Amino acid sequence: MAKKICVTYSDHLEDPPRELDMEAAWNASKQWVTFQHFTFLKRMYVTQLNRSLRQQIKPKSEPVASPFLEKSSSSQAKTEVYEMKPFAPSTLSLPRKPNETELIELESASIIEGSVDVGKETKDEKQWKEMKLHVDDLPGILARLSKIKLTALVVSTTSAGFALAPGPFDLSCFLLTSVGTGLASCAANSINQFFEVPFDSNMNRTKNRPLVRGQISPLLAVTFAACCAVPGVALLTWGVNPLTGALGLFNIFLYTCCYTPLKRVSIANTWVGAVVGAIPPVMGWTAATGSLDAGAFLLGGILYSWQFPHFNALSWGLREDYSRGGYCMMSVTHPAPALGVTTWTFPVIALPINLYISYLGFRFYRDADRKSSRKLFFCSLWHLPLLLLLMLTCKRRGADRDSGEPQS
């Protein structure tokens, strides 16, 4: 006969679990219907260990860490530790009468079934989280909302543009430009996420973003974006120069109001996105020089070209998600011809980069001064990694094509 243990549930169960006799246990079984109330109120976990129904409640005397502190994805959240203490069968007093035994078996069968359902539903219920914002979690949430790593990359391209520009290096101007650009980028990224919640939910790459997980409300996201955009653009306009400020504002607009909606309308979004990526180094240049000249356009042009292999490499692996989500990406709409193009795009894209570093090298050779040496040095920092990335991109796509050909 299956040995079965039931325990009573109460709102204020602080004591350790008690062993009960079977009579009290039958009363307890009738309280299964209100089980769900207690589950949440005291965060008790009932686990079922195979079919022998050794059940244990582990009362938690203090609340677990706030759900929003979980950095892990929802799937990882399911793996919670259960402390299991098997009940010693000798502690139970079982009825001796045969007819009562039959009754016990019947009831135990139904409760097994019920407990399986409850087990599943408890598991589902545990994944429900209260939408309450904890101040401790806010920095992490905002960092993810503003795509802080991407922002850091954008700021670094702006710094590169600033450093490459002719003229004396002004540290305060440099810092103001970096901070201003960083704030503008945070604002743009937050608005992008605000627009894309249901699409992000459906793509593996983006399904753990803060708005998707409900860690922050849309209102707060928009407020945060405004609180970044306004000081950011103001800093650039009045702290640096109006041209840089205008470029910053234009870039925010381009990214949020052009690129983001265009992603679902036309493949032209990639070209717009490339411009968005090219503007920050141009901003660095205009911050240092105060004007848009040939050097700014050359730098912008290089980064504009770079965006294509960068983005196409990223989007190649996401074609299924993009197609299902309704995104118009070249990797989905023009797959086969794109593969054939990579072999000659590499030298084409690499050419301006190589020309530029050659030009700087020539200038250094001719001038042999601190200014030209510094420029050449900074160029060399990104020149090689950039070329390697380009080569890697082309090679990977070539390899895909090879593996796609049927074995003859």
Partner 1 sequence: MVRDFSSTGQKNDCVSRFCPPRKSCHDWIGPPDKHSNLRPVHFHVPEDESAAEQKLRELRQETQEWNQQFWANQNVTFRKEKEEFIHSRLKAKGLGLRTESGQKATLNAEEMADFYKEFLSKNFQKHMHYNRDWYKRNFAITFFMGRVALERVWNKLRPKQKTSS
Instruction: Give contact residues for partner 1 (rule: CB under 8 A).
Output: 32-33, 35-37, 40-41, 74, 110, 113-114, 117-118, 120-121, 124-125, 127-132, 194-195, 197-198, 201-202, 207, 212-214, 217-219, 222, 261, 264-265, 319-320, 322-324, 326-328, 332-333, 335-336, 400-401, 403-404, 406
Least Å distance, CB 204 to partner 1, is 10
- Tell me the torsion sign for CA atoms 206, 207, 212, 216: negative
Least Å distance, CB 361 to partner 1, is 41
Which amino acid is it at 180?
G
- Give the residue with the Cβ less far from partner 1, 102 or 400: 400
- Give the residue with the Cβ less far from partner 1, 33 or 171: 33
Least Å distance, CB 77 to partner 1, is 9
Least Å distance, CB 317 to partner 1, is 10
**CB-CB contact of 58 with 82 (8 Å):** yes
The span from the first CA to the last CA of the chain, in angstroms, equals 63
- Give the residue with the Cβ less far from partner 1, 43 or 58: 43
Region for residue 158 given its phi and psi (left: phi exceeds 0; alpha: psi -120 to 50; beta: otherwise): alpha
Joined tokens for residue 228: 């970044």
Least Å distance, CB 90 to partner 1, is 31
- Give the residue with the Cβ less far from partner 1, 333 or 373: 333
How open is the CA angle 383-386-388, to the nearest 5 degrees?
110
Least Å distance, CB 262 to partner 1, is 11
- Tell me the torsion sign for CA atoms 203, 207, 213, 217: negative
Least Å distance, CB 132 to partner 1, is 5
- Give the residue with the Cβ less far from partner 1, 212 or 276: 212
- Give the residue with the Cβ less far from partner 1, 243 or 329: 329
- Give the residue with the Cβ less far from partner 1, 162 or 322: 322
Q: What is the CA radius of gyration of the chain?
A: 31
The closest alpha carbon to 234, from 223, 222, 245, 219, belongs to 245
Least Å distance, CB 322 to partner 1, is 8
Helix (H, G, I), strand (E, B) or coil at 123: helix
DSSP assignments along 213-279, one per residue: HTSS-HHHHHHHHHHHHHHHHHIIIIII-HHHHHHHHHHHHIIIIIIHHHTTT-TTHHHHHHHHHHH
Joined tokens for residue 75: 């799937």
- Give the residue with the Cβ less far from partner 1, 91 or 202: 202
Q: Tell me which long-range contacts 262-265 makes (C-beta under 8 A, separation of at least 24).
A: 263/327, 263/328, 263/329, 264/199, 264/326, 264/327, 264/328, 265/328
Q: Which residues contact 105 (CB under 8 A, 6 or more apart)?
A: 1, 2
Q: Which residues contact 76 (CB under 8 A, 6 or more apart)?
A: none
Least Å distance, CB 214 to partner 1, is 4
Burial class (CB in 10 A: 0-12, 13-18, 19+), 341: middle
- Give the residue with the Cβ less far from partner 1, 241 or 260: 260
Helix (H) or strand (E) holding 45: strand 45-46
Least Å distance, CB 75 to partner 1, is 9
- Give the residue with the Cβ less far from partner 1, 139 or 335: 335
- Give the residue with the Cβ less far from partner 1, 66 or 373: 66
Least Å distance, CB 121 to partner 1, is 7
